[in-house]
Structure 1
Amino acid sequence: MSEKHENREPLPDRSRLGLQADCENCFGLCCVALPFAASIDFAIDKAAGVPCKNLESDFRCGVHNSLRKLGFRGCTVYDCFGAGQKTSQVTFGGRDWRQSPESAKQMFEVFPIMQQLHELLWYLTEALTLQPARPIHGELRLALEKTEGITRLDPDSLMEMDLSAHRADVNSLLLRTSEFVRAEALRRQESRPGRRKSYGRGADLIGANLRGADLRGANLRGAYLIAADLRGADLRGADLIGADFRDADISGADLSESIFLTQARLHAAKGDNGTKLPPSLTRPPHWTFCEA
């Protein structure tokens, strides 16, 4: 049965295909450029700029199908939003760091910058599908075009740009988008007065019992939802940008009209085939699938 997404429009001409990781056209940058420490998410320590021991000569992960089993859960919840192939094929023209070791250090420094830019592109692209935010679609398109232009700069220019200032400018637009969407969600809700709770940015909801909670239109930006029980919760119209879903149980929850949710956050959570998702996202393979 198809789901209705009344507050969303079809994706704009710039679809999200270029904002999805294409590992075949990347030089394993996330496996080299980024550091990680031995923890519940990673089985070993690795310094930035050092290739992971599981990275093969063709830039593929040798244990990709067993990452969670072998203690590399952190790899399964990371998303470069297509920054890997952009850095590899566009910024550095298809020259990999093994063949051109003189460019390796700069490539590894540019990649995290590109990842942040591509994440902004993901959110801006989504914002342009949200009908309640139509009053600022013009501003959102300009921000999208500017961000895309920045991603095509040469390596030196990318490293010299003021990324923090650009992120702040885009975030102000995303916040206005959120306000439009959440206001519409609150107008549409039919809950009894007094049943809903209000949460601010970065709310500490670690391990919280939110089973069946009415969270329509909630501001959960940057909320700590680690191991929270969100089974059957209604999160339509909720802003989930930056929310930490590690081990949160969203089985049966309705996130179909939530905004600024990413695939990586779904991979960090627990869910099932009863979890309703936005149209651009898919159920992770490790979720529980029960027969009807």
Structure 2
Amino acid sequence: GEEMAAPFCDPDHVEGFHHYLALEVLEKVEKLKFAEDLSPALGEHPKELREKLGDSYCFAVDVSLTLGGRGAWGHLVIPSAFREEWKGHFASKPKPPLSEEARKKLLVDVALEAGNASFSWEEWNEAKVGDFVILDRCFFDPDTKKGRVVLTLGGEPLFRGKFEESGVKLLEYPFYEEVEESMDEELESEESYDSIEENEESEEVIEETVKPQKKSPAISPEKIPVSLTVEVGRVRMTAEELMQLAPGNLVQLPVSPDQGVDLVINGKKMGKGELVKVGEVLGVRILQL
């Protein structure tokens, strides 16, 4: 609307009008019912607020207010401390459930994972077409055309499934995560357990002689570990269809593992490949990057 000219000359009248305008804004915010457990209220005087904020970082945005057909401008100032408290307040609350309408309209992509491997970013950058990558885990045998798959959404496992001629049959919910230990780690754990009593007797001496550890050097970006996921494909469905899935259901597949797989890092498709079995070793040959 039209910008409002300052109608008051008396500072007390100006302050009173600002107070009234702020109360009108708070009333409108209250009616929004954004957060029922929070109520907006007038705080400190602006001059005192400036002193309190000091040199702290703030997010500020211009806002336009319309009252009685006339317009006024103001600043919405959000200190960094308030932002952190605001995030913390809502982080502990459960997310609101999707409405029935949203469940029917919201589309999600469910990935079908057949294996994975871990290495450094430097190693991945050196990969080229034709390379054979050994997988840490592979659930599908390309020779027998049999195996299983894990259905995931945003990296979170939803179901385990088994390949069938007409698609993937859902078997179970993945209630647990597989934990792998090498034989050396197991032996080390047993030795530590057997020597608990000996360690207790010499605990005080050890505490006196142990030197503070030096800080570990920063890891080079090229040494950062990455996880490569081998996806058979992705199935797009509505949120309602996803919520109705259960063990025993059959999910139709647009492709099969022997037609090629996608190479995915951090949810992004980086290339194409094919599953290959060399002796007892399962891996993927890179076809496209």
TM-score range, shorter chain: under 0.3
- Give the TM-score of the pair, scaled to structure 2: 0.19
Higher Rg of the two aligned structures: 2
- Give the TM-score of the pair, scaled to structure 1: 0.19
Q: Whose helix fraction is larger, Structure 1's or Structure 2's? A: 1
